[in-house]
């Protein structure tokens, strides 16, 4: 399949977030994990969203709520506006992004600064601070 990746990278899904979401590859950077989680929201890949939460937060994820959220919200676009660390050699990373969402015919902008960490060598999403 050569559909465009939902994370708005202008790459195809198979060459961008696809291998991460399908489990073929692990993201090397915090930004790759962030992008792939956005794409997972766009595609309703709830298991990936749960699997990429940090261990201490994973049990608080409600699968059914995530499924409903993914159905009710369209992920229209993504822009990464800032990043700190999060590289292949780092163990922590911070990514600030603007996500364009649409729900019930209304557009909204979700602005979040997310913290990522490595657990057993893999990037996971720890927490985010939402602005506005
Ligand atoms: Zn992507």
Q: Quote the ligand 1 centre to 14 CA distance (angstroms).
A: 9
Q: Quote the ligand 1 centre to 34 CA distance (angstroms).
A: 9
Kindly list the structural domains of the chain, giving each domain's residue range(s) and its CATH number in brackets, ordered by start: 13-131 (3.10.450.50)
Q: Quote the ligand 1 centre to 9 CA distance (angstroms).
A: 6
Residue in the block written with tokens 């992008």: 35
Q: Quote the ligand 1 centre to 63 CA distance (angstroms).
A: 22
Three-state SS for the chain is CCCECCCCCCCEHHHCCHHHHCCCCCCCCHHHHHHHHHHHHHHCCHHHHHHCECHHHHCCCCHHHHHHHHHHCEEEEEEEEEEEECCCCCCEEEEEEEEEEEECCEEEEEEEEEEEEEECCEEEEEEEEEEC
Look at residue 126 in the predicted model and tell me its pLDDT.
Answer: 98
pLDDT per residue over 10-34, tens digit each?
A: 999 999 999 999 999 999 999 999 9
pLDDT per residue over 83-123, tens digit each?
A: 999 999 999 999 999 999 999 999 999 999 999 999 999 99
Q: Quote the ligand 1 centre to 59 CA distance (angstroms).
A: 26
Q: Quote the ligand 1 centre to 104 CA distance (angstroms).
A: 25
Return the half-sphere exposure (C-beta side, CA atoms, 13 A cut-off) of residue 130. 5
């Amino acid at each position: 399949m050569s559909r465009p990746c939902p994370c708005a990278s202008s790459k195809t899904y198979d060459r961008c977030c696809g291998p991460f979401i399908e489990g073929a590859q692990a993201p090397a950077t915090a930004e790759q994990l962030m992008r792939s989680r956005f794409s997972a929201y766009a595609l309703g890949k709830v298991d990936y969203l749960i699997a990429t939460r940090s261990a201490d937060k994973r049990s608080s994820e409600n699968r059914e709520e995530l499924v409903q959220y993914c159905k009710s919200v369209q992920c229209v676009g993504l822009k990464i506006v800032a990043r700190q660390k999060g590289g292949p050699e780092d163990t922590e990373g911070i990514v600030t992004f603007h996500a364009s969402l649409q729900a019930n015919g209304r557009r909204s902008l979700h602005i979040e600064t997310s913290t990522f960490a490595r657990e057993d060598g893999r990037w996971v999403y720890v927490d985010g601070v939402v602005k506005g």
